[in-house]
Amino acid sequence: MAFNGSNVHVARDAKNIVYGDQINNVHGGVSSKLDDSIFQETFKLLAKKAAPNACYDSEQRFPPPNCHPGTRTRILEELSGWIEDNPKTTRVFWLYGSAGVGKSAIAQNLAETYAGKRVAAAFFFSRNDPSRDKLEPFVASIAYQFCTLGSCLRSVLAPIITETIRSDPNIFHKSSENQFEQLIVEPCSKVDITKWNDLPNAIIVDGLDECTDYLSQGRILRIIQKVVTARQIPVPWIFLIFSRPEPQIRDAFDDFGFILRSLDVNSSDEAYQDILNYFSEQFALLRKKHRRALRYEDTSWPGKDIIYQLANRADKQFIFAATVIKYIDTHDERPQDRLHTILRIYVDNESDSPYSDLDILYHQILLTCHRWEKVQPVLRLLVTPHRTPGTILQRHISWRSSETIAHLLGLKMGEVETILSRLHSVLQIPEDDSKCDIRIAHVSFTEFLSDSNRSGEYHAPQMSKSEYFDHVSTLLLHTLSTLEQHYPLHHLQSDPTKALPVWEEMLRKNRSELMEYSCRRWDVYCRQVESPSPNLCAALSKFDPHFALAVCMYYKPLPYLRYWEGIVRWAKPFGEDTRSFVETCESFFRGFCIAFPPAILQHEALWWTFELEQDLVQRFLNDVQKRLVKNLYSIEQAAMESSPEGHALLMLPSDTRTIPLEDWNIAHIAKINGDVLTRLPRSFYTCKNHLELLLDDIWNDTYKIASHGWITEDDLIHLKWILVKRAEIFGILLRCRTIEVTNGKQE
């Protein structure tokens, strides 16, 4: 990355910035450019590349960790003083400490305190959230926060940032170093430097160690180092970095020199007193909340000695103190019994325990769970970040909600909540909402579960990619199959006309993000599975491609079939386990019938049949093929651009003899038809005379074009049959000849 300032122009007294052919006043109020459609579309692109969960006020992080009132006062005062001190020689403040000491709570407190005043943006990394565990969305997220409503930087930077993106839509495919220079450094450098006295200039980065790629951690720090040391950059950016003191992070900070200030949270003497105060206040609240269960206890329960003992056990780890209180605060048992359990386990493990005090507490919490064989798979899902093959990430599906977890693991509705009922002290379980994600309260519990040396019999490691994709594939196939009982094909022997309205209503009623995602991605997940589980094999054996294609075409347009053939190739090596699935699909790919209801325009239906057949041969209709079909049937452009999405079409087996669907148009779709159209040479499409000769052969039932070597006679026979048959099915006349024949030659 080269922050050389070659493209940076600083106008100290300027009131306007100029880029391209546009002049915008960015210091005298909100630019009118912020209201136009071009800005809005570009801003949407930026928003898609950002990680909304990484913001300090994101819904996904709610309720975020924060400092208990009256705690961490010295550290907060020191950090606040550093933020407010102007000018300063140090430009980067690194606050570090071990797991659970409250680093994220301090970062959150500062982000909330100085939002819109001193803090311009914040990024909270989390290894438990795949949307914010990597470098890729970092720069876009910072730039996005500069441009949001409510940001003091919006009117100043948003026009420049969005113009940069508009002029180079592929900017997000560049390195993060280049993105930072173009989206952060250059826009900021174009602002009058005197304006920065009144603008926020602090950026908070929390949990840097939770960026899962170690090399990316170093890249972020090098980006920051260059920003704050480059003399050509007049913007007084300051950065607050919160992390564990991992070796690679410590080594990277060694190069920062005098610009770095650091503080070890563990070295603070106030932590012990803060935890004492926290325990005292929380036990006072517990005495009120559980007054019936505690009515026979002393009014000072549990007493100062016990509180001191627990504070010593916490060893400056706020997560220990918070987990103890959550564990005691339950209606399953008496609070005093749970407290006694905690005190007893530390006495029992005093001499030779291989676990830290926090690990012992986690062991005790898990010991209270019934049916570990059901609890463990749920915990394994919770410690496994949701993965998606390729680049399509579905943001609106709650992959870790109790409802989705139940589907992924084959549990009953409501069973997940029951299984996890004793884990409220280590999990954040939404109340009365089965569609919101369940989250692990602190990363230390994730690390405990993942490390067999620490968790022992309660080891709950991440699922492998193949194992996880197996679960998701099964879920997506089951999601599709929920509509199958209503498919009119299964009612042909009775009265399908009664089934059709029900079918259309079910399609409308069941439209959801998960259903649409199932249509688009079930096969992609399957292909990533190394060896399908019995559950996945069972779901595949029940797969009906006719029903599935009807559902998929209703929710999302083509293509599908070219990708489905890939799943058959994937399934073949598994032998008997997937044999029925393979045979069913191979029969389907040879050909099937498609039925169009009377309400669909005939030219649209005709066009879709050709698109389907090209999909079967793994191609799109190319321009010359489109021209051929368009000219032969006089199809308007609107029909060519139409989509079957939202239409309840029916897919039927080729051997379906009697189809009691009055006024429906039914066409046979076959791979061989697509092959014939594909084999026609390009010259056939591009030469106008060739098209006219084909029309001659169709109208006169001759085979002249075959004699020219442009097409084999067999292919010509087949092609003529397809074209004429389709015209008959849809009641469309083939276009009449428009070129007269003179002296045996066409003019």
- So what's the pLDDT on residue 355? 59
Of 134, 204, 211, 164, nearest to 393 (Cα)? 134
- So what's the pLDDT on residue 245? 93
At 23 the three-state DSSP class reads: strand
Residue 7 burial (CB < 10 Å; 0-12/13-18/19+)? exposed
Prediction pTM value: 0.77
Q: Where in the chain is the domain with CATH 3.40.50.300?
A: 36-267
> Which amino acid type is present at position 458?
Y
Please tell me the number of Cα atoms within 13 Å of 344 on its side-chain side.
7
For domain 36-267, give the CATH superfamily.
P-loop containing nucleotide triphosphate hydrolases (3.40.50.300)
- pLDDT mean by block of 10 residues, the chain; 747 residues: 40 36 37 72 93 92 89 94 86 93 95 94 93 95 94 93 93 96 93 87 96 94 92 83 95 93 88 92 94 90 94 89 92 90 72 68 91 96 89 74 95 93 92 84 92 94 97 97 88 69 92 92 95 97 95 84 90 97 95 93 94 86 81 90 92 77 88 87 63 77 78 87 92 68 37
Helix runs in 412-512, H state only: 415-419, 443-450, 452-455, 465-481, 496-509
- Give, in degrees to the nearest 5, the angle at Cα 465 between 462 and 468: 75
Distance CA 287, CA 295 (A): 9
Classify 8 in phi/psi space as left (phi over 0), alpha (psi -120 to 50) or beta: beta
- So what's the pLDDT on residue 603? 95
